[in-house]
Amino acid sequence: MKTLPHDMRNYIVQEFLDGEDSADLTPEFDLIDNGVVDSLGLVRVISHISRTYAIPVDDIPIAPDNFRTITAICAFIDNARSETTA
C-alpha cells in the first residue's frame, strides 16, 4: 500500500531529480534550502497537490514552510483534506 509520503517522494524524484541520486531525499530533507525546489518549482508542487488531491488552488497558501520538506507537504495535504471534509 502506497502512502502519501511515498507518493510525494516519488513525485519530487520524478519531477525535480530525474536521473539524479535521490538517496539523501529523506522526509526531512529541506527541498528549498538545498535547491531541489525553487520558486517555479513551488508553483509546480502546488499545482500537483491541487490536481492530485482535489484541493482548490485558492485554498493553498503559498507559504514556503508548507513545502520545505516532504513531511511538511504531507502535513499540509492532510490538514487541507481534513478541513475540506469537516
State pLDDT tens for residues 54-85: 988 887 778 889 999 999 999 999 998 887 66
Looking at the chain, the whole-number percentage of residues with pLDDT higher than 70 is 95
Share of the chain above pLDDT 90, in %: 67
Give me the numbers of helices (H) and strands (E) for the chain, helices first please. 3, 0
Looking at residue 46, its pLDDT comes to 93
> DSSP letter at 36?
S
Count the alpha carbons within 13 Å of 8 in the hemisphere toward its beta carbon: 27
The CB density around residue 44, as the number of other CB atoms within 10 Å, is 14
Quick one: cell of 6?
Answer: 511515498
DSSP state of 34: T
Mean pLDDT of 9-26: 91
